[in-house]
């Protein structure tokens, strides 16, 4: 969660050796009183040449009969200092904090919090951004991501498909939820744009890797421009919507299905000239 990270910019020095103190994760328990340190991190001198550390072995051995020494320590945000007993020279060297990693994690949390808040208005503003932010962030809370899936269908924005299809989800169970949601999104969109539409609709079944499909795209743009209100043209990527492709018997692409009031009335397979499409549209618009 969000924390005050100003301590990451602090620079402290050991008064015994003048070496820079290292920012380290604090132990959960203070061996002196059994309580915590009141801080997630401590600034500790890890110099093996520090006089305090070098003298500490003999001092503790003579006084307590233990093999141990001292490291100088300061709390973040203050000049409060203390010494910590260590059993070997490597103590705390494995718990040095990476300031940039912590800053990045904190920034990620703030971005998640902002996205969750923006979900409340995403439908009104037709804003897909917070939904994708949560779905593509593997560090977001599962409850927030599940909520984002609900908004995904309500928004009905198909521009999300490529990003979600190409993302590697670490949680297989959540990946299945995303796949199911995308199928529902595509089905709902097809129902709204094609099956419930009045008049003529040309559905272009295509794929990005298909050269004839790419060649047909500008032809259909011109057809839609010249045909005007006689027909609406929409596209179905067969790679993203295999269920619809199977349902409508698509065996090769490009394949164009022409619907009238939600029913298929003609099928055109392959790349054809613009005039042929216009003739077919005129025939069925009478």
The span from the CA of 258 to the CA of 251, in Å, is: 16
* Alpha-carbon torsion angle 57, 60, 63, 66, nearest 10: -100
**Spatial CA neighbour of 98 closest among 182, 200, 25, 185:** 25
Q: Residue 16 — φ and ψ, nearest 5°?
A: -90, -30
Would you call 210 a catalytic residue per the annotation? yes
Would you call 23 a catalytic residue per the annotation? no
| Partner residues linked to 96 by β-bridges | 24
- Asked whether 10 and 77 are in contact (CB, 8 A), the reply is yes
Angle at 66 between CA 63 and CA 72, to 5 degrees: 80
Q: Among all residues, which ones are annotated catalytic?
A: 210, 213
């Amino acid at each position: 969660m969000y924390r005050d990270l100003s301590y990451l910019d602090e620079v402290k020095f050991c008064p015994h050796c003048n070496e820079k103190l290292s920012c380290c994760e604090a132990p959960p328990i203070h061996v002196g009183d059994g309580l915590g340190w009141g801080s997630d991190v401590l600034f500790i001198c890890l110099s093996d040449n520090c006089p305090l550390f070098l003298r500490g072995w003999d001092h503790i051995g003579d006084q307590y009969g233990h093999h141990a020494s001292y490291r100088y320590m300061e709390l973040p945000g203050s000049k409060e200092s203390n010494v910590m007993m260590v059993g070997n020279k490597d103590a705390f060297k494995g718990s040095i904090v990476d300031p940039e990693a912590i800053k990045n994690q904190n920034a990620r949390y703030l971005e998640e919090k902002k996205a969750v808040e923006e979900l409340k208005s995403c439908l009104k503003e037709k804003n897909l951004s917070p939904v994708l932010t949560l779905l593509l962030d593997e560090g977001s809370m599962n409850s927030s991501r599940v909520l984002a899936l609900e908004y995904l269908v309500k928004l009905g924005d198909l521009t999300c498909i490529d990003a979600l299809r190409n993302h590697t989800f670490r949680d297989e169970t959540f990946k299945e939820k995303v796949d199911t949601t995308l199928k529902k999104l595509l089905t709902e969109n097809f129902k709204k744009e094609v099956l419930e539409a009045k008049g003529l609709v040309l559905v272009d079944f295509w794929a990005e890797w298909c050269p004839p499909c790419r060649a047909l795209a500008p032809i259909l743009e011109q057809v839609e421009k010249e045909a005007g209100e006689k027909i609406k043209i929409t596209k179905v990527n067969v790679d993203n919507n295999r269920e619809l492709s199977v349902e409508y018997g698509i065996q090769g692409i490009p394949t164009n299905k022409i619907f009238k009031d939600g029913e298929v009335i003609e099928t055109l397979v392959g790349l054809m000239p613009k005039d042929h499409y216009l003739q077919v549209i005129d025939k069925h618009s009478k």
